[in-house]
């Protein structure tokens, strides 16, 4: 008599576990959202979104060839400015030297969105077109010089945007 009850409880627990697996397997925001192409003057775009927030939250930094940038976020905040020339030169140099095929060959170790972390999506204009790298789709190495510089620029601009 106890054995059928155990089997019933075990079956019910499997039913409650299964939907959790389905939720975790849903596509990331980057897989369901169409990527906006970079215009001819844009050399980089960094988009960070999702994570531990209510609703859709994001921040985006667009950098043009002359170093001008536009920062926007889901709160409606917008700022613009000009990056130091050295940052723009270093960004262009690192984009030229980066092996995007190698970077994209590394699979993601798990999208941070599944753990309340943000997705980071980087778009860079190269001599052969636009390369888009997302930490939800690719194994982005945060120690890679290109991503270190991109993140440093993004953080500096974002701090400026939220400063009083």
What mean pLDDT do residues 24-28 have?
34
The yes-or-no verdict on residue 128 having pLDDT over 60 is: yes
User: pTM for the whole thing?
Assistant: 0.73
What mean pLDDT do residues 112-137 have?
82
CA distance 72 to 34: 18
Q: Residues 160, 119: contact at Cβ < 8 Å?
A: no
Q: What is the mean pLDDT of the chain?
A: 77
Token digits of residue 135: 């930490």
Give percent of the chain above pLDDT 90: 43
Tell me the torsion sign for CA atoms 34, 89, 96, 126. positive
Q: What is the pLDDT of residue 25?
A: 32
Per-residue burial over 61-98, b if 16 or more Cβ lie within 10 Å, else e, is bbbbeebebbbbbeeeeebeeebeeebbebbeebbeeb
Q: Which of 37-41, 75-79, 96-100 has the highest mean pLDDT?
A: 96-100
What are the CA-CA distances from residue 147 to residues 4, 23, 42, 65, 123 (Å)? Answer: 56, 29, 17, 18, 11
The yes-or-no verdict on residue 144 having pLDDT over 80 is: yes
Q: How confident is the model at residue 101 (pLDDT cuts 50, 70, 90)?
A: very high
Total Cβ atoms within 10 A of residue 22: 8
Domains of the chain, CATH where assigned: 36-162 (3.30.1560)
Residue pLDDT, tens place only, 45-56: 999 887 766 667
The yes-or-no verdict on residue 163 having pLDDT over 90 is: no
Q: Residues 113, 136: contact at Cβ < 8 Å?
A: yes
**How far is Cα of residue 150 from the mean position of the Cα atoms in its chain?**
12
Between helix 85-97 and helix 145-162 the angle, nearest 10°, is 150
Q: What is the pLDDT of residue 47?
A: 92
């Amino acid at each position: 008599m106890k054995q059928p009850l155990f089997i019933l409880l075990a079956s019910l627990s499997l039913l409650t576990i299964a939907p959790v697996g389905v939720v975790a397997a849903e596509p990331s925001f980057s897989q369901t959202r169409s990527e906006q192409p970079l215009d001819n003057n844009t050399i980089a775009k960094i988009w960070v979104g999702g994570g531990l927030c209510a609703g859709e939250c994001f921040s985006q930094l667009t950098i043009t060839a002359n170093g001008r940038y536009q920062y926007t976020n889901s709160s409606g905040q917008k700022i613009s400015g000009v990056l130091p020339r050295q940052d723009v030169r270093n960004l262009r140099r690192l984009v030229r030297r980066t092996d995007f095929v190698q970077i994209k060959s590394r699979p993601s170790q798990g999208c941070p969105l599944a753990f309340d972390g943000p997705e980071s999506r980087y778009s860079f204009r190269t001599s052969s077109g636009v390369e888009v790298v997302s930490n939800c789709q690719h194994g982005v190495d945060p120690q890679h010089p290109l991503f270190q510089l991109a993140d440093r620029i993004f953080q500096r601009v974002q701090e400026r945007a939220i400063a009083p």
